[in-house]
Amino acid sequence: MTGKGLDRVKVYDTTLRDGSQSEGISFSVKDKLRIAAKLDEIGVDFIEGGWPGSNPKDSEFFALAKKELKLKNSKLTAFGSTRRSSVAPSKDRVIKELLKAETKYVTIFGKSWDLHVKEVLRTSLKDNLGMIESSVKFLVKKGRRVFFDAEHFFDGYKEHPAHAIETLKAAEAGGAEALVLCDTNGGCLTSQIFEIVEVVSSRVSLPLGIHVHNDAEMAVANSVAAVQAGCLQVQGTFNGYGERCGNANLVSILPAIKYKLGMECLSDLAFRDLTEVSMYIAEISNVKQENSQPYVGKSAFAHKAGVHVNAILKNCRTYEHIEPSLIGNKRRMLISELSGRSSIIDKAGEMGIKMDTSSKAAVEILNHVQDLENKGYHFELAEASLLLLMKRAVSRVKEYFEMKDFRVIVESRSGGDLVSEATVKLQVGDELRHTVSLGDGPVHAMDQAIRKSLVEFYPSLSEMRLSDFRVRVLDEKSGTAASVRVLVQSEDGTDSWWTVGVSENIIEASWMALRDSIEYKFVKDDLGKRK
């Protein structure tokens, strides 16, 4: 990083360190290597790998990174603290571990809030400045390029501005390459961040960075404001992972910098991978990605109300602040009781069903959807069931099989074991199949019995499996007489899909969802054969 006035913001990712401090997240060393490789693919400038020496996992990561991590675009950074009060840098354990990591870039943090100097370090303000300057100077002499994280800077500046600025000048005197201002407690307002960054920018000569936490849910706004005020490095984590309420979410910050401020940070090609990378990191983190996450969430560009859909189809700018393809996401038209005819026609086209604006089928489908959703169906999630509904409305759907009868028994046998048994009678063409099967539960037993009956006629059914099953009671006040909605997710080697069933009987609702799931598989296979 050089001088001020640049129009490119450096991206510093700390998912592997700060992100791993999020409750419920625990990266293995292999996880960290995979995430680092993915971040390198999109051209993140700096990847903070962890705190070497603080735990065996981080030490192993840096050791393996030297051998296995072939970064093409990013610079790996090791993180640590300044030396201890009474120890020379050359003797300090943390400093020695930083050198052992052998990264060209090092980030060290020091206290910039006098409260921490007095109450936590239990030393003088003068000694604190000496710790910062000598630590930076020692690392620079050892050939490292150093970023200084001024921990609690904004809180420190508000209470003792002189000392907060002096900590930056100490790092500057030691040879730091950039000064990163941290809102470590995450409680500052956007106006405060902007004003303080502007002041600091006039008091120091080095480039500034911003590192913000999300405790007041201001982290994204505060990071963007800091860039507007002059910061040229932005730190954060993917999906906002981090301790307490999380860190600043780079997935939201970076598009704001690029498409709202008009400043460069990642390439256009990298932005088109942003949604995929966000989902990739969520998957490795074993954290469900929120559908409502801005920019990359499944619902970020989903339109449900008929008025909205009608306008979007005429001009997408009417209800979208950015073109979804820019960040690798896509526009979705949801079908529900709030939909209009435009929604139905657009969704039909998306599913390969031809329907024009004068089509009576669109009105029939809309009325049918509204009626079913009033009874508890939910087609936003169950698009496979929606496709079958639409096909049945516009053309005759092949009857692959017909359920004649089914029976499910659950009994407790000697020894306390519960046994589920399903019996189904299916008609396939001219043949009547009567099949019995056991399962881990009543729904699994029914699924197994249906498959056993059909697989001889439709061998591709062996590729399909149930991957998720969800039940929701629709009217809790009705007690055991309440209707239930069952959602079933199925998948084969290429796709996954959801289907839905609703009934006062959970077994019947499950059968409805299973039937649609299997029928969708057959329809999908037939379409594939025609292409």
Instruction: Strands of 8-159 (E only): list them.
Output: 10-13, 46-50, 75-81, 105-111, 145-151
* Per-residue pLDDT, 415: 67
Q: Which amino acid is at 77?
A: T
* Per-residue pLDDT, 64: 95
State the Cα–Cα distance between residues 419 and 424, nearest whole angstrom. Answer: 17
For residue 78, give the 3-state DSSP assignment. strand
* Per-residue pLDDT, 153: 98
Structure tokens given for 150:
């001024």
State the Cα–Cα distance between residues 48 and 107, nearest whole angstrom. Answer: 8
Please identify, in words, the CATH class of the domain defined by 10-266. alpha beta
Residue that the structure tokens 């008091």 belong to: 203
Q: Which amino acid is at 417?
A: D
CATH for the stretch 402-530: 3.30.160.270
- pTM value is 0.70
Structure tokens given for 303:
């339109």
Domain boundaries, the chain: 10-266, 302-394, 402-530
Q: Are 426 and 401 contacting, i.e. CB atoms less than 8 angstroms apart? A: yes
For residue 119, give the 3-state DSSP assignment. helix
* Per-residue pLDDT, 342: 64
State the Cα–Cα distance between residues 515 and 509, nearest whole angstrom. Answer: 10
* Secondary structure (DSSP) of 234-301: EEEBGGG--STT-B-BHHHHHHIIIIIS--BSS-HHHHTTHHHHHHHHHHHHT-PPPTT-TTTSTTTT
State the Cα–Cα distance between residues 278 and 280, nearest whole angstrom. Answer: 5
Rounded (5°) CA angle 393-394-399 = 70
Residue that the structure tokens 């609702």 belong to: 509
Among 368, 416, 374, which Cα is nearest to 391's?
A: 368
State the Cα–Cα distance between residues 65 and 79, nearest whole angstrom. Answer: 15
State the Cα–Cα distance between residues 228 and 9, nearest whole angstrom. Answer: 11
* Secondary structure (DSSP) of 156-176: HHHH-HHHHHHHHHHHHHHT-
State the Cα–Cα distance between residues 396 and 76, nearest whole angstrom. Answer: 59
Tens-of-pLDDT digits for all 531 residues of the chain? 433 444 799 999 999 999 999 998 999 999 999 999 999 999 999 999 999 999 999 999 999 999 999 999 999 999 999 999 989 999 999 999 999 999 999 999 999 999 999 999 999 999 999 999 999 999 999 999 999 999 999 999 999 999 999 999 999 999 999 999 999 999 999 999 999 999 999 999 999 999 999 999 999 999 999 999 999 999 999 999 999 999 999 999 999 999 999 999 999 999 999 999 998 898 888 887 788 899 998 888 887 766 777 787 788 888 889 999 999 988 876 655 445 566 677 766 666 677 666 667 777 777 777 778 777 777 766 788 887 888 777 766 678 888 888 899 988 776 667 888 999 999 988 889 999 999 888 888 988 999 899 998 999 998 888 888 888 787 655 555 578 888 888 888 778 888 988 998 888 999 899 998 998 888 888 766 655
Among 326, 260, 336, 249, which Cα is nearest to 293's?
A: 249
State the Cα–Cα distance between residues 500 and 512, nearest whole angstrom. Answer: 7
3-state secondary structure 206-225: CCEEEEEECCCCCHHHHHHH
Structure tokens given for 474:
């629709």
Intra-chain end-to-end CA distance of the chain, in Å: 53
Q: Are 188 and 219 contacting, i.e. CB atoms less than 8 angstroms apart? A: no
Rg, C-alpha atoms of the chain:
29
The 3-state DSSP composition of the chain as helix, strand, coil percent (nearest 5) reads: 45, 20, 35
State the Cα–Cα distance between residues 116 and 254, nearest whole angstrom. Answer: 32
Produce one character per residue of 183-212: b if its CB has 16 or more CB atoms within 10 Å, e if not.
bbebebebebbbebbeebbeebebbbbbbb
